[in-house]
Structures are given as structure tokens and as C-alpha cells.
């Protein structure tokens, strides 16, 4: 059968470079900066002392004395990403310095104005998101190139471990992202042998993500009962603004896999997941949309009559189901169990896994119900010859 050459001329092949996605690091920012230009030293000095300043309840006083700096001095994309990381962490600490019961409801203009400015430049919201907490917040230290984080909050090794394992999960997804691109292009070129190999690699990558997750705890002011009206950014808006904080649902990896495999979630889950895309770097969100508009993998497999393709596709779906089942186990163990135990402890200055996580879950969804729905809808994607 001759390939439809007309389509090949009009449909461009998918390329990671077009979406600023690294072939070595995936959605992680390659080699993030650890220092800003000298004029931004006031930000970096506070960021480097954050855990101590929060625990000693000195952060708000330090921020109130901080000079108002313009983001125009940030020349490169990586400088802007580090600035967003630093300002998002300072904002988180400023709001929650006094704990869950006394959150600050107004962000001072010397913090709010540059944070909103750099956020607009990057197309990100002015809040600590997955793009900051994980994608920008990693580095290597010492000759062994051991992983470490750049900015931290109170939480010690527990928080550090959570961030670094999530970095490793993003890194484990890289072969799967590469395989996804190869598979989309194989469909466009009607090369079923290449598609088969790409699907086999995708399954292996998903399984590797699950193993990496086994090495394994976020706060927000949208859907947060401690801040029901949101946060006022002084000098930006007179009305409180609401954003969701860092969440695994903001990772582009599983969004991309779902779009490619044709996973259809319930309306409530799908609405939430689509809302989480607004917290991704715009180029990553565009990558998901490009996959969505590509030819349907499921339709291609069913029309091909290729049993080997169908079987391999189903193995990819089954691997994704296993990953999501394991994620449920992790969330149950580390968020709900730990939150229950934390009730009897002295409250931390920063809100931990609290009632917002226990009862409402990530981004305002009942967490276990949401995760189980996502897992079950993934399982429903299994193909049968009669489909």
C-alpha cells in the first residue's frame, strides 16, 4: 500500500525542539541556574535562608524591608525561571509563616509586583507550581554529581526527598516522551514497524516511572479552606486572586501519555486536569495540544487490523493503569496516613498535609476518588478486536 504522500507534505512531523523539550531531560529545565545577577541579591539572600527565616518567624519582616526590583534585569529564560522559583518560594513562606490558622491575605507590592511581572513574561501563574517546585528546582553537586534542590522550605530531608524523587520521575519519563514523538511520526508516515517499536519503548518507560516512584509529600490558596477568598497581590489587584499550588497533576508527562493513548476521563476529572495545564510552561501545554490534534493512535490501530500493534497498545495502557494504582498507594501512605498522624502533633509554621489534602485532595478534588476515577478510566481504554 502506498503512503499518502499528499498528507506527508502538508503535515509536519512532531519535534521536541519546537516545544523547548529536552531530549536529555524531558520537561525538566536543563541545567537550571543557581544564582541570579548581582542586582537580585536581596531575593537570593532571603531564598537561601528560607527555612530558618520561616521557623524563626522573621521572614515577613525581612520581605517587608526588601527593595522593589524590576524584572527587566533578567536577560535570559533560565534567569526568569530561577526568579520565578525564588519568588514563589518566598511567597509561600510569607503567606504561611504564622501557620495554617493565620495566613497572610495580602502580598506586599515589593514581592507581588516582580512576581506577577516575571510570571507574565513566562506565561506561568504567580504561585509555586510544579514547574518551580520540581522542573526548575534541581541541581547536581560534588564530583559524583549527586542531585540536590536549589531552594527549600521547612520540611528538611522529607521535603528534599519528595522533590528529588519527583525530579527522577520526570527524568525516567524521557524515553517515553521520545517514544511518543517517534510513534506520532510513524503514524503520519504509515510505518507500523516503527510504531510498534515506539509503543514497546513507551511501555518500558511507564514501567520505569512506576519503579522510580517507589523511591518515595503541597499547599495552595485555591480550594484551600484556610484562605477561602484567595490572596491579594498588592499593586496588582485590589481583589484576591485564586490559584492552585504545586501538584503532580501539573506534570506534562501523563497529560501527554493520556492524549496519545486516547484516554478519556470523566467530565469532573477532565475539567480539573485541563485546568492544571494552565500551570505548565506554555510550550509544554502546546505540546499536549499538538498530540491531541495528531492522528488518532486508537483509530490507526483498529483500522490497521494489526494484532501485534493492538496487543502492544494494550500493554501500554495496562502499564499506565499499574502506575496509577501505585500512585494511589503512595498518596494513601504519605498524604492521608501522615496527615492523620499529624493531627496530634504541634502545628508547623507552614501547613503540612492538612484537612485540605485529607478531605479535598489535590486541587480541590477528593484525592482518592479522583485518582481512582483516573485509573479506572484508563483501564477502560483497553482495545478489543470488536472495537
- pLDDT score recorded for residue 100: 74
54 within a domain of the structure (yes/no): yes
**Residue 161's CATH number:** 1.20.58.480
Q: 354 falls in which pLDDT band (50, 70, 90)?
A: very low
320, 323, 327, 330: CA torsion to nearest 10: 170
Q: Which residue has the higher pLDDT, 5 or 37?
A: 37
Contacts 24+ apart (CB under 8 A), 178-182: 178/16, 178/23, 179/205, 180/256, 180/257, 180/260, 180/291, 181/14, 181/15, 181/16
Query: What is the mean pLDDT of the segment spanning 177-197?
Result: 96
The Cβ of residue 331 has, within 10 Å, a number of other Cβ atoms equal to 22
Strands 232-233 and 106-107, bridge-based pairing: parallel
**Segment 57-81, tens digit of pLDDT:** 999 999 999 999 999 999 999 999 9
- pLDDT score recorded for residue 145: 72
**Segment 239-286, tens digit of pLDDT:** 655 555 557 789 999 999 999 999 999 999 999 999 999 999 999 999
Structural domain that includes position 134: 17-379
Q: Are 249 and 288 in contact (CB under 8 A)?
A: no
224 within a domain of the structure (yes/no): yes
343 within a domain of the structure (yes/no): yes
- What are the helix (H) ranges across 226-337? 252-261, 267-276, 282-293, 297-304, 307-331
Strands 139-141 and 232-233, bridge-based pairing: unpaired
Q: 351 falls in which pLDDT band (50, 70, 90)?
A: very low
Q: Which residue has the higher pLDDT, 144 or 244?
A: 144
Q: 214 falls in which pLDDT band (50, 70, 90)?
A: confident
* Count of domains observed in the chain: 1
264 within a domain of the structure (yes/no): yes
Q: 159 falls in which pLDDT band (50, 70, 90)?
A: confident
Lowest mean pLDDT among 17-21, 101-105, 160-164: 101-105
Q: Does position 333 have pLDDT exceeding 80, yes or no?
A: no
In angstroms, the first-to-last Cα distance of the chain is 24
Query: Going by C-beta distance under 8 Å and a sequence separation of 6 or more, which residues neighbour residue 376?
Result: none
3 within a domain of the structure (yes/no): no
302 within a domain of the structure (yes/no): yes
329 within a domain of the structure (yes/no): yes
- pLDDT score recorded for residue 310: 97
Strand partners, 60: none
Residue 327 marked as a ligand binder: yes
12 within a domain of the structure (yes/no): no
Amino acid at each position: 500500500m502506498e503512503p499518502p504522500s499528499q498528507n506527508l507534505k502538508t503535515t509536519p512531523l512532531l519535534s521536541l525542539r519546537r516545544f523547548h523539550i529536552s531530549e536529555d531531560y524531558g520537561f525538566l529545565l536543563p541545567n537550571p541556574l543557581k544564582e541570579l545577577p548581582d542586582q537580585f541579591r536581596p531575593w537570593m539572600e532571603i531564598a537561601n535562608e528560607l527555612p530558618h527565616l520561616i521557623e524563626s518567624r522573621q521572614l515577613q519582616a525581612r520581605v517587608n524591608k526588601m527593595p522593589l526590583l524590576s524584572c527587566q534585569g533578567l536577560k535570559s529564560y533560565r534567569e526568569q525561571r530561577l526568579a520565578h522559583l525564588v519568588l514563589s518560594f518566598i511567597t509561600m513562606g510569607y503567606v504561611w509563616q504564622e501557620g495554617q490558622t493565620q495566613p497572610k491575605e495580602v502580598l506586599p507590592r515589593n514581592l507581588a509586583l516582580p512576581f506577577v511581572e516575571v510570571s507574565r513574561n513566562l506565561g506561568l501563574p504567580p504561585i509555586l507550581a510544579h514547574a518551580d517546585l520540581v522542573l526548575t528546582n534541581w541541581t547536581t553537586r560534588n564530583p559524583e554529581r549527586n542531585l540536590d534542590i536549589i531552594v527549600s522550605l521547612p520540611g528538611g530531608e522529607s521535603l528534599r526527598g519528595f522533590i528529588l524523587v519527583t525530579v527522577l520521575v520526570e527524568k525516567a519519563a524521557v524515553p517515553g516522551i521520545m517514544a511518543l514523538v517517534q510513534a506520532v511520526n510513524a503514524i503520519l508516515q504509515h510505518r507500523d514497524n516503527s510504531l510498534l517499536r515506539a509503543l514497546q519503548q513507551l511501555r518500558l518507560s511507564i514501567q520505569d516511572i512506576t519503579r522510580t516512584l517507589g523511591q518515595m509529600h503541597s499547599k495552595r490558596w485555591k480550594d484551600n479552606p484556610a484562605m477561602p477568598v484567595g490572596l491579594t497581590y498588592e499593586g496588582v489587584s485590589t481583589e484576591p486572586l485564586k490559584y492552585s499550588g504545586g501538584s503532580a497533576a501539573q506534570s506534562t508527562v501523563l497529560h501527554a501519555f493520556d492524549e496519545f493513548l486516547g484516554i478519556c476521563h470523566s467530565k469532573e476529572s477532565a475539567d480539573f486536569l485541563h485546568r492544571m495545564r494552565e500551570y505548565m510552561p506554555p510550550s509544554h501545554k502546546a505540546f499536549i495540544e499538538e498530540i491531541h490534534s495528531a492522528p488518532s493512535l486508537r483509530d490507526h490501530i483498529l483500522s490497521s487490523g494489526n494484532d501485534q500493534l493492538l496487543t502492544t497498545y494494550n500493554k501500554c495502557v495496562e502499564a499506565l493503569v499499574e502506575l496509577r494504582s501505585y500512585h494511589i498507594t503512595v498518596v494513601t501512605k504519605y498524604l492521608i496516613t501522615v496527615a492523620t498522624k499529624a493531627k496530634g502533633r504541634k502545628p508547623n509554621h507552614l501547613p503540612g498535609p492538612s484537612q485540605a489534602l485529607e478531605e479535598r485532595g489535590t486541587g480541590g478534588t477528593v484525592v482518592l476518588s479522583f485518582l481512582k476515577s483516573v485509573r479506572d478510566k484508563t483501564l477502560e481504554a483497553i482495545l478489543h478486536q470488536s472495537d
